[in-house]
Amino acid sequence: MRTAFSHSVRLVARTVLQTLFWTLVFSVQLAVCIAVFVAARSLVAVRSSHARQVRVAPPIAQPRLAFACEMDTADLQSLFSDPNVARDLRMLNAGISLSLTDLSPGRAQVVHGLNAAGVSVTAWMALPKEQGYYLNSSNASQATARFADFQKWTANHGLRWAGVGLDIEPSLQEFDAARQGSAPREAASVFRRLFDRGIIHRARTDFANLISQIHSAGYSVETYQFPFIADERAEDSTLLERLFGIVDVRGDREVLMLYSSFNHRADSAVIWQYGPSAQAIVVGSTAGDSQPGSKFIPLSFDELGHDLIVAAHFSPIVGVYNLEACVRRGFLPRLIALDWNQPIVISADANRQVIKLRSRIQSSLWTLDRLPYFAVGILFADVWFVARRRWTR
């Protein structure tokens, strides 16, 4: 009996070890396959593109500027207590996109003042922070309820709006969890989203219905999206939507957030390369920590000016993120005097950086979307190899 038991234990142990071995082999094969396909497609894309120096001509017409503003109500009231801010916005013929972090009488008072001063205001729909703040596939119902509350608030205070903006970004809680490096609940949410393609279709339908409601209320709609949505469309993928909870939905105008402050070395190349895919562009960020060694260094005024001139080639309306930093750093009076005819040169190296980035993103999306096919192919190959070895013994 002991001999039989020992034999069973050895058999189980051998089976477990073989299973672990082949699981490891399969995982390595799949990883190598992904790496090879991504590298190969990226190399082909980079070589077929032309990364060259670009001399940007002056724009045909000066674009209309729109400044994003997402201050809390007390700071917002303090900002506009200075009459020079509204005056500078009028001189620039600029509007603002105001984040509705709350629907308070104080925020309504600021909007009233801007209406009276002739500054156009777009209602930037935002949820309370505990609901994720940004709009995404997890809070479409809350966004619809928020718009209903917005309509009542607008009617009660007699406010006027140039339109409504929907900021499509991952949940604020997921951002915070990623920064803190501890996110079991958020990780589980991402995992569920990744394998439930129905979430994408439901979210697109829900937000399309919301946009219809906003249109019915008499407002135009603009959507704010990460630029990578253009790469996802180019590969007919939904991976980024499932991974980050963003929603590929459009209103009357889609605004791509092309922030060169994330990579100052690339200069305005991110705008030059993504601009043809944009209906409108927002540049930035002018906010951040200017100290050397900081993770996010804001744009200097010269960098901002370059980005605005380049963006004007693709968009009649150019957004700037954000207003409060521009006011604090004294940018508004300098923008009034900006020379829109100054020569702008985007280096070949800067263009090459962005082209490589886009090719890697698109290659990764193409490969990862086809991961099940690669996995099945490798699995069949491994099964055939093992079976062939046994047959030839």
CATH of the domain at 180: 3.20.20.80
On whether both 120 and 214 belong to a single domain, the answer is: yes
On whether both 41 and 120 belong to a single domain, the answer is: no
Q: How many Å apart are CA 185 and CA 174, to the nearest integer?
A: 9
**Per this entry, what is the length of the chain?**
393
Residue 315: strand, helix, or coil: coil
The tens digit of pLDDT for each residue in 191-209 reads 677 777 788 899 999 999 9
**Mean pLDDT, all residues of the chain:** 87
On whether both 105 and 24 belong to a single domain, the answer is: no
Q: What is the mean pLDDT of residues 208-226?
A: 98
Q: Is the pLDDT of residue 362 over 80?
A: yes
On whether both 374 and 230 belong to a single domain, the answer is: no
Tell me how crowded residue 23 is: count the other CB atoms within 10 A of its CB: 10
Strand boundaries in 109-225, DSSP class E: 121-125, 163-167, 221-225
Q: Is the pLDDT of residue 169 over 70?
A: yes
Q: How many Å apart are CA 181 and CA 57, to the nearest integer?
A: 45
Q: How many Å apart are CA 258 and CA 96, to the nearest integer?
A: 18
Q: How many Å apart are CA 112 and CA 76, to the nearest integer?
A: 13
Looking at mean pLDDT, say which of 54-63, 153-162, 366-375 comes out highest. Answer: 153-162
On whether both 264 and 320 belong to a single domain, the answer is: yes
Residue 143: strand, helix, or coil: helix
Residue with tokens 């004007």: 312
pLDDT at 178: 57
pLDDT at 7: 57
Q: Which residues pair with 373 in a beta bridge?
A: none
On whether both 238 and 297 belong to a single domain, the answer is: yes
Residue 7, domain extent? 2-52+353-391
237 touches 369 (CB < 8 A): yes
Tally of domains in the chain: 2
On whether both 29 and 65 belong to a single domain, the answer is: no
Q: What is the mean pLDDT of residues 49-56?
A: 82
On whether both 148 and 175 belong to a single domain, the answer is: yes
pLDDT at 198: 82
- 253: Cα separation from own chain's centroid: 16
pLDDT at 240: 92
- 261: Cα separation from own chain's centroid: 14
140 touches 199 (CB < 8 A): no
On whether both 158 and 228 belong to a single domain, the answer is: yes
Q: What is the mean pLDDT of residues 12-23?
A: 67
Q: Is the pLDDT of residue 41 over 70?
A: no
pTM for the full predicted model: 0.86
* Residue 153, H or E segment: helix 140-157
pLDDT at 372: 72
On whether both 310 and 252 belong to a single domain, the answer is: yes
